[in-house]
Structure 1
Amino acid sequence: MPHVRRSFTTSRIPCPHPGCQQLLKNKSALTQHQCSAHQHSFCIPKPGQPREVHDGAANKQQCFTWDYHPLLDGHIYNEAGDFIDPAVLPPPPPVQSNDDWTPYRNRLEFETAHFLFSQAEMLGQKIDTLLHLWGVSLAVHGDAPPFANHQDLYETIDVTSLGDVPWTSHSNPDFKNEIDYAPYHKWEECSDGAYSCRWHDFMSADWAWNRADIIAQDPVMHGSAFVPIILGSDKMTVSVGTGQNDYHPIYLSVGNVHNNVRRAHRNALVLLGFLAIPKTRKKYTNDAHFWTFKKQLFHFSLSKILETLKLGMTVPEVTMCADGHYRKVVYGLGPYIADYEEQVILVGIMWNWSLCLSILFYFDCRCLAFPWDLDGEHGNHMQELLKALIEEVDTGTLWDEWGIVVNCFTSNFPHLDIHALLAPDLLHQLIKGVFKDHLVNWICNYLEETYGSIWAKEILDDIDRR
């Protein structure tokens, strides 16, 4: 029986499920897609949406008072940076016609870019091959493929202004009702008439208010919106793959968005980049010069990545925000989330120089205690002290007597002290460090010493079953 070729059709049926952009060729494909992709789907309320509380005690009316920072209050301006009345409505968004696909020339280009880059995640070399074959088939008709090569595709995507832009989180319109532009204190009125402070989102923290006090010492900053940059990095190893299987990603978020937005995977937390992992021959692995080079490269990389924010830390930038208004934005580096290994590199101290424990699980790299005198009275590391030591003390003395290895990347930015920005990595330092590596191992050793190896294993098996 001769082979019968299928006919090509351009008809597409959109999936009716909210948020799904899949296009299907026929009703049969639509049914299969719904059964496989949306079999267990259900409606999820948007984060921040008020929920009914049926508990009578919880329904008791609560009185809250918000006290915003008096100087860095996130006032609104026009596009030229001129002060305007807070009651003025934001300018309407630009009207865009249904057939305007700028910077794409047509819908075909947009869907091709979306498929190759977002869905298929095709490599650049394979994109070039596909576009070449596409171009050959169109050449007989005097036409050309949507893109010349993968570089043309990437450049077009980079100038796309449609949709969410994750690297300008404070401007994402999806966050307009779940973002704070000024530090604040939230007060709850108690039954006895007194007020108690409520801490919830990042901008309600004392750190944000105190940082705003420092920035507000410059009158140029008054009326600006403070945007703290939260960073986090963690070296990881993947078990699947060939070649290099260790990576060092760094992530970024802004402190203005509410906690529910950051937890809901709505582009409030983005991958900023991958830090370099230097390699060398095994005989140089533990060489002091190589380790110093690795730390210097780490700090230089961070300084280079954050360089574009440096001017915005001293000169406010007029920026459109999520609610459509323009504000003068001033940036500042906020907490850096890292495990102990990276905290050591971040503050530039010697490994195991000081292991002062605070709140059980927080390895503190900010303490000036010597390894042989952890219980004595000691102060904290400060940026001013670090600068003074680097200017007055030679490198050898810094290493031997102070445990300081290199200068920190934050020395290139204003109003920053890395020792005050360190934040613990809960996964490594609390869950894995304290619970798994300490408590679990301690209990296992205790059972074995108390009841013997065989009985201890029986007890552990019983614990596992529970």
Structure 2
Amino acid sequence: MPVLCGCGQYFANSGFRQHQRSSKSEICRRPPPPIVCDKEPILEAHSKRADTPNAFEVTDLLGGDTFDSQGDYFGDYGDLDSELEADEADRMMGSDGEEWDFPQTSVAEEQGLEPERTQIEQTVIPMDDEDGVPMRLRGGVDNDLQKNPFIVAYPDLQAGEILSKRGCNMDTEYTARIGDHPTNPYFPFKSKIDWEMVHWAKTRGPSSTAFTELMQIENLSEKLGILFTNSKELNAMIDDHLPGRPQFKRHEILVGGEVCEVFYRDVVACIRALFGDPDFMPYLVFRPEKHYVDETKAERMFHDMHTGRWWWSTQEELDKTNPGATIIPIIISSDKTQLTLFRNKSAYPLYLTIGNIPKEIRRKPSKRAYVLLAYLPVTKLKGVTNKASRCRQLANLYHACLSHILAPLRLAGLDGIFLTSGDGCIHRSHLLLASFIGDYPEQILVTGTKSGCPTCPAKPNELGMYARNDPSSWLKDLDAILKAIDSFDSNPGGFLQACKEVGLKPIVDPFWKDLPYAHIYRFITPDILHQLLQGVLKHVISWITEACGAPEIDARCRRMPPNHNVRLFLKGITTLSRVTGQEHDQMCRILLGLVIDLPLPGGVSNTRLIWAVRAILDFLYLAQYPVHTDRSLELLEDALEEFHSNKAIFIDLGIRDSFNIPKLHFAKHYVRFIKLYGTLDNFNTEYTERLHIDLAKDAYEATNHKDEFQQMTVWLERKEKILRHHQYVQWRLQGTPPPSVADWTPPGLELDRGLHMTKHASIPNVLLSQIKVNYGATHFREALARFVVLQNQPDVTRAELERKLWDLPVWHWIKFQRTDPSNNKILTADSIHCQPQRLDGNQNVIPAQFDTAFVNDGTGEVVGVEGYRVARIRVVFSLPESSLEVLFNDGIEVSQHLVFVEWFSAFVNPERNHGLFKIRPLKNLGDGSPITEVVPLVNIRRSAHLYPQFGPFAPVEWTSSTVLDKCDTFFVNTFADRHMYRIVVV
């Protein structure tokens, strides 16, 4: 039987009946703790409530005819959609934020037709204060981030203490549940091939029908020794013999004359599964810490959640009444996602994770640190014709679902429950909601905000204002909001007006109002993906396009030189539709290079435009730091302040008349949230957007598209069981305990990248005469002879060198790899191409590519440009073993790989307006040929991307593959990737 929504049902017409609301028993109203910084309090939080409803209902509001209403009992708010920013749904960056190696582009694609451009007359009117804004210097801030922190542990050692320990860990308990078979680590499966077939079928395999057809091939099962012969038998084995994460429950709700379904799991059981996962056990955090740059404790350092002020202050408050408590910070996220392009099928997943798991593990989908907690109802209530009524009902439906799903947290957070970690240690744990991750529409829905900022009391027409460190713009008055919500019981007729006065949508029972230590306006954390990349930067890119003209912007995009970390937009950026977060991230990497010398209409100086663009890019890149200090947070605030100081250029150009944009306004709260909860990569929706693929889209594809959510939950349960059993099998086979907690260190900036070369050359034998022609290696013989002379001081002439060397092995790629700290996987972090023109499989000409790189002269440090020079890599080669004894004296060690480079000028002072270093190719005075040298490969630090100095009009004859040859002035791109931004500092 469906459950009636609320005390009866929703009505779309005016025939309301009197609302009867059941009384609730008071449990406790202890206030949540004040968040205290080292010097002054940040917040005095509201009174904690723990009223527990008895039924899963969307509460119906006042019925009867006691007051006049328009549309429904909430009144008519007008068009709700006009209050929200319109973001396109289901945007995501790449898996795990990994950069990719972009495909090669043919000459035909590169030299395609482009629209006519009109050159703007460059009659620039200089500004009186163009020299008034000093260039921001990051100095030693990035060096501080490399240091191991000085750690101050929480003083009460009882916090997070182990109460007792079981005789077995979670893996041995798993063995007891499925049965102990010492000789068969794959049990309940018969053999290794039996298990591997199951693992493939449920994680990588085809549909159930295809798998059944495969297994019905004559005698296949018998020859392989497999127990099952079709999908039905396999599924029965998984369901009956393998334990897994909690099962889903199904519940029906009647709202607006429509039956809605919600599929959800026991939230406490999900937290038990995460806390008790053996893979997470070595890394779990049980108590807060304060991290400092050094032992003077003058400067705080922030990264994971346990280094923020919220955890420390909440632990202090808990210890007053419950000493020995272990805080379990709960992070939830919800966001609709589209399942199909046709028929408009959608899902509404609700995800959960815990802050005890370090962020380096949480951000990896393969680590399964997030749990799909629920599929919320997906309905448009088309039967409700009044839009205001429909919006009210959908909001109450959302909150009612979450109230029911999170109801166990009320007592579990207040009194605590016993949780067992993967090693069998038992902790008394308090489950406390700490953060909500979501896009702006989700934030508005969760907080019940009518419009404006979901966190602070700023009004819609005040969002464009900026005042640094303004305490009045921190958080909304939660006590006043709770009082308005409670007024429904005492004064239902005035409920609508009470909510209107505090800027709240009339939601009777928000899911967060009864959670212990909860302050929902403090839990709405920043989001890099939707707020910056898909929000602020999307706006800035569109403003620049409107100001400078789409043809010229696209023409400059087509002429950017290639680089591993920078995408080439050979068709421009202004014509793209449904732009993803990853594409906006790539646009940001070239954005400053597009506007450095671009004239504005009417002869207006572009100085303020450059300042604004540089400032917002600084804010974006600083906000993504995995570690912050008090000084780096000052730089973050400086960048935002400078953007606001120069944003008026867009008003002067007639592009904007105000900056009342909620996502831009929310940026002023970033520093406070980082100090409260750690760096922003703890809460980026990029991670949960990626989960849509594994936990929603793939699940939907595995169904027959009828009653799909029931099938999706079953499919997901079986897959999780297989993944858990795989984890167990690996434990049985390895026979070793998991690594100790000392093996994991807090995330740093990981600036050093390991050089990697393939064992065999790309071309094993290239004649010296061909190197000059094919690789453009002017004076290669002379440079190599000079290298030999400098190594051992023999008198080697060019003729002697040619007699001793006929050909050389040549490599076309240099790769730099890094190790992922969470799983020790090797990832390609950077690469450098140096290969001549060639043909692809379709006989299209692929132009030559010779990338630029940073070369260390032997004195370069981890951070900074001192000791480095940019060079263009022409040839990577190795000297044959047979020639080493002839060319070099005994005892001289020569690098295995050598590089022939063309030098650029040295770094001097960066340009004042945009802070980039200007460099030029070095030429010989006589013939104008490049100045070249042979250097050891180990001196190559990483790739370098250069912005060409286009001038007021990008030359027509330049292309992406020829710009490094034809342009004579460049700027070093600081924004090529986050690693580059951290090392190219002044």
Q: Aligned pair 1:211/2:314, yes or no?
A: yes
**CA positional deviation for 1:107:** 7.2
CA-to-aligned-CA distance 1:214-241 (integer Å, 9 cap, x gap): 333323xx21221111111222235x45
- The aligned residue for residue 237 of structure 1 is 338
Cα distance 1:72–1:314, how it changes in 2: closer, same or farther (>3 A)? Answer: farther
C-alpha separation between the residues in 2 aligned to 1:130 and 1:460?
51
Give the structure-2-normalised TM-score. 0.33
Matching of residues 311-350 of structure 1 within 5 Å = 311-350=411-450
Q: Contact 2:285–2:356 (CA<8 Å) still a contact in 1?
A: yes
Q: Contact 1:64–1:187 (CA<8 Å) still a contact in 2?
A: yes
C-alpha separation between the residues in 2 aligned to 1:58 and 1:207?
24
Letter in 2 for 1:418: I
- The aligned residue for residue 118 of structure 1 is 203
C-alpha separation between the residues in 2 aligned to 1:150 and 1:60?
51
C-alpha separation between the residues in 1 aligned to 2:438 and 2:406?
17
Q: Aligned pair 1:68/2:171, yes or no?
A: no
C-alpha separation between the residues in 1 aligned to 2:556 and 2:210?
54
Cα distance 1:254–1:78, how it changes in 2: closer, same or farther (>3 A)? Answer: same
Larger Rg computed on CA atoms: 2
Q: Aligned pair 1:409/2:503, yes or no?
A: no
Unaligned runs of 5+ in 1: 1-39, 41-56, 81-88, 356-363, 449-455
C-alpha separation between the residues in 1 aligned to 2:512 and 2:213?
45
Mean Cα displacement is larger for which, 390-399 or 297-306? 390-399
C-alpha separation between the residues in 1 aligned to 2:380 and 2:215?
37
Cα distance 1:458–1:133, how it changes in 2: closer, same or farther (>3 A)? Answer: closer
Letter in 1 for 2:495: T
**CA positional deviation for 1:298:** 0.9
- The aligned residue for residue 498 of structure 2 is 398
Q: Contact 2:362–2:370 (CA<8 Å) still a contact in 1?
A: yes
Query: What secondary structure sits across from 2:513 in the alignment?
Result: helix
Mean Cα displacement is larger for which, 125-134 or 170-179? 125-134
- The aligned residue for residue 181 of structure 1 is 286
Query: What secondary structure sits across from 2:314 in the alignment?
Result: helix
**CA positional deviation for 1:269:** 2.5
C-alpha separation between the residues in 1 aligned to 2:196 and 2:148?
50
Letter in 2 for 1:408: P
Q: Contact 2:335–2:348 (CA<8 Å) still a contact in 1?
A: yes
C-alpha separation between the residues in 1 aligned to 2:518 and 2:234?
41
C-alpha separation between the residues in 2 aligned to 1:92 and 1:408?
37
Matching of residues 67-146 of structure 1 within 5 Å = 67-68=153-154, 70=156, 73-79=159-165, 94=172, 96=180, 97-99=182-184, 113-120=198-205, 122=207
- Which of 233, 236, 239 aligns to 1:155? It is 239
Q: Aligned pair 1:202/2:305, yes or no?
A: yes
- The aligned residue for residue 537 of structure 2 is 435
Q: Contact 1:214–1:415 (CA<8 Å) still a contact in 2?
A: no
Q: Contact 1:366–1:381 (CA<8 Å) still a contact in 2?
A: yes
C-alpha separation between the residues in 1 aligned to 2:352 and 2:276?
15
**CA positional deviation for 1:403:** 2.8
Q: Contact 2:144–2:293 (CA<8 Å) still a contact in 1?
A: no
Q: Contact 1:226–1:331 (CA<8 Å) still a contact in 2?
A: yes
Cα distance 1:457–1:103, how it changes in 2: closer, same or farther (>3 A)? Answer: same
Q: Contact 2:212–2:229 (CA<8 Å) still a contact in 1?
A: no
- Which of 277, 282, 296 aligns to 2:378? It is 277
**CA positional deviation for 1:333:** 0.8
Query: What secondary structure sits across from 1:189 in the alignment?
Result: coil
C-alpha separation between the residues in 2 aligned to 1:459 and 1:426?
25
Cα distance 1:61–1:117, how it changes in 2: closer, same or farther (>3 A)? Answer: closer
Letter in 2 for 1:155: D
Q: Contact 1:232–1:337 (CA<8 Å) still a contact in 2?
A: yes
**CA positional deviation for 1:103:** 6.2
**CA positional deviation for 1:415:** 1.7
Matching of residues 223-372 of structure 1 within 5 Å = 223-238=324-339, 240-265=340-365, 266-281=367-382, 284=384, 287-350=387-450, 352=451, 355=452, 364-371=453-460
**CA positional deviation for 1:369:** 4.0
- The aligned residue for residue 556 of structure 2 is 462
Q: Contact 2:169–2:424 (CA<8 Å) still a contact in 1?
A: yes
Query: What secondary structure sits across from 2:368 in the alignment?
Result: coil
**CA positional deviation for 1:119:** 3.2
CA RMSD of aligned residues (A): 4.1
C-alpha separation between the residues in 1 aligned to 2:185 and 2:294?
53
Q: Contact 2:480–2:502 (CA<8 Å) still a contact in 1?
A: no
Q: Contact 1:229–1:332 (CA<8 Å) still a contact in 2?
A: yes
Query: What secondary structure sits across from 1:385 in the alignment?
Result: helix
C-alpha separation between the residues in 1 aligned to 2:396 and 2:371?
25
- The aligned residue for residue 24 of structure 1 is none
Letter in 2 for 1:75: E
**CA positional deviation for 1:58:** 9.1
Number of residue equivalences: 369
Query: What secondary structure sits across from 1:329 in the alignment?
Result: strand
Q: Contact 1:104–1:156 (CA<8 Å) still a contact in 2?
A: no
Give the structure-1-normalised TM-score. 0.66
Query: What secondary structure sits across from 2:548 in the alignment?
Result: helix
C-alpha separation between the residues in 1 aligned to 2:287 and 2:373?
24
C-alpha separation between the residues in 1 aligned to 2:374 and 2:346?
14
CA-to-aligned-CA distance 1:27-71 (integer Å, 9 cap, x gap): xxxxxxxxxxxxx9xxxxxxxxxxxxxxxx899985623322527
Q: Contact 2:361–2:369 (CA<8 Å) still a contact in 1?
A: yes
**CA positional deviation for 1:296:** 1.1
- The aligned residue for residue 547 of structure 2 is 446
Cα distance 1:129–1:381, how it changes in 2: closer, same or farther (>3 A)? Answer: farther
Cα distance 1:293–1:179, how it changes in 2: closer, same or farther (>3 A)? Answer: same
- The aligned residue for residue 4 of structure 1 is none
Query: What secondary structure sits across from 1:173 in the alignment?
Result: coil
